[in-house]
């Protein structure tokens, strides 16, 4: 029985928004799995991108032979206002707000079911955020997610296309940043789930940014609810989102303010009782 059906049976005649409850419960469950996979990825294990989207995100950049692509925004912003801007440390909510702004600048659609993790005082330069996105004028929706990390997590890892990356392209951008784009291997039994990924490695800024988009929603047991044929963002849109100049460990305070207003929002750090260390996760299988 699917999660939605169980929740409908349990609530009987009670007047509740089952769709909203289903999205929230599914988002929290996927976020916990995503957190475990991300931890394993940064410990050197081979993984595949996060799930509610995804993101088990284990990726790296590219090699010294990568082509230079002058058409991609390298993150050099034009200074339009000389007045000082208050900067705040990136956290889960600010990450979600900045991702929404970056996507909204490039695609029309509706946003829903926000989730994120990472606090300014966690001692780790690592945040994650995601939301459900439905492109305007199109059928179906999917998840867009981003992980912002210290590039040092990939120390010693190959910066080239790996076996689980389909249609992989590695590009060296003007200024030296590395961009890797690919389609993640399917996880569902039907093999019709698609997760498109764009990853930026910036040694100059100390940043690793991974943005992904799906064509549906991953459920437990490698099952997917596929809502459309292709991910909700194109490869070009992902490239411009991941190379957006605003990504940093400190961002303008407006994104913290916008993040505080996002609803519905699931704090993926709130249920630390379900978090497993890499050793515990491996022991449980």
Q: What are phi and psi of 51, to 5 degrees?
A: -115, 130
In a domain, 168, yes or no: yes
In a domain, 285, yes or no: no
In a domain, 46, yes or no: no
* Residues 6+ away with beta carbon under 8 Å from 67: 170, 171, 172
Q: So what's the pLDDT on residue 119?
A: 78
Looking at every residue in the chain, the average pLDDT score rounds to 76
How much of the chain exceeds pLDDT 70, in percent? 64
In a domain, 279, yes or no: no
pLDDT(60) > 50: no
Q: So what's the pLDDT on residue 3?
A: 43
* C-beta of residue 24 within 8 angstroms of C-beta of residue 17: no
Give the domain extent around 72: 59-269
| DSSP character at residue 66 | P
Q: Give the bridge partners for 126, in sequence order.
A: 149
In a domain, 9, yes or no: no
Count other C-beta atoms under 10 Å from residue 187's C-beta.
Answer: 17
In a domain, 164, yes or no: yes
The pLDDT tens digits of the residues spanning 75-111 come to: 444 445 556 789 999 999 999 999 999 999 999 999 9
| DSSP character at residue 146 | E
* C-beta of residue 49 within 8 angstroms of C-beta of residue 57: yes
In a domain, 216, yes or no: yes
Q: pTM of whole model > 0.85?
A: no
* Residues 6+ away with beta carbon under 8 Å from 1: 9
In a domain, 181, yes or no: yes
Q: So what's the pLDDT on residue 46?
A: 30
CA dist 31 → 56, 137, 148, 156, 219 (Å): 10, 28, 15, 27, 11
Q: So what's the pLDDT on residue 75?
A: 46
Q: How far is CA 245 from the centre of its chain?
A: 17
Arithmetic mean of pLDDT, 152-180: 93
The pLDDT tens digits of the residues spanning 187-233 come to: 888 889 999 999 999 999 999 999 999 999 988 777 899 999 999 99
Three-class secondary structure of residue 168 per DSSP: strand
What total number of domains does the chain contain?
A: 1
């Amino acid at each position: 029985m699917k999660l939605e059906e169980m929740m409908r049976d349990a609530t009987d005649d009670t007047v509740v928004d089952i769709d909203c409850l289903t999205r929230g419960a599914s988002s929290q469950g996927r976020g916990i799995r995503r957190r475990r996979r991300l931890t394993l990825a940064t410990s050197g294990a081979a993984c595949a991108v996060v799930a509610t989207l995804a993101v088990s995100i284990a990726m790296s950049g590219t090699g010294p032979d990568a082509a230079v692509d002058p058409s991609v925004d390298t993150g050099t912003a034009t200074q339009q206002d000389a007045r000082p801007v208050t900067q705040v440390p990136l956290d889960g909510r600010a990450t979600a707000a900045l991702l929404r702004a970056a996507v909204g600048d490039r695609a029309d659609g509706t946003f829903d079911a926000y989730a994120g993790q990472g606090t300014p005082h966690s001692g780790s330069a690592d945040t994650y955020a995601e939301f459900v996105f439905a492109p305007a004028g199109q059928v179906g929706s999917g998840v867009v997610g981003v992980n912002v990390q210290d590039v040092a997590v990939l120390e010693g890892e190959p910066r080239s296309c790996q076996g689980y990356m389909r249609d992989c392209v590695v590009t060296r951008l003007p200024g030296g940043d590395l961009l890797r784009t690919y389609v993640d291997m399917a996880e569902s039994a039907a093999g019709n789930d698609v997760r498109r990924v764009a990853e930026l490695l910036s040694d100059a800024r100390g940043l690793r940014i991974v943005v992904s988009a799906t064509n549906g929603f991953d459920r437990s047991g490698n099952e997917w609810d596929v809502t459309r044929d292709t991910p909700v963002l194109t490869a070009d849109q992902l490239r411009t989102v991941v190379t957006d100049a605003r990504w940093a460990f400190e961002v303008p305070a407006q994104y913290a303010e916008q993040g505080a207003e996002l609803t519905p929002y699931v704090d993926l750090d709130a249920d630390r009782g379900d978090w497993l260390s890499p050793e515990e996760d491996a022991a449980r299988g």
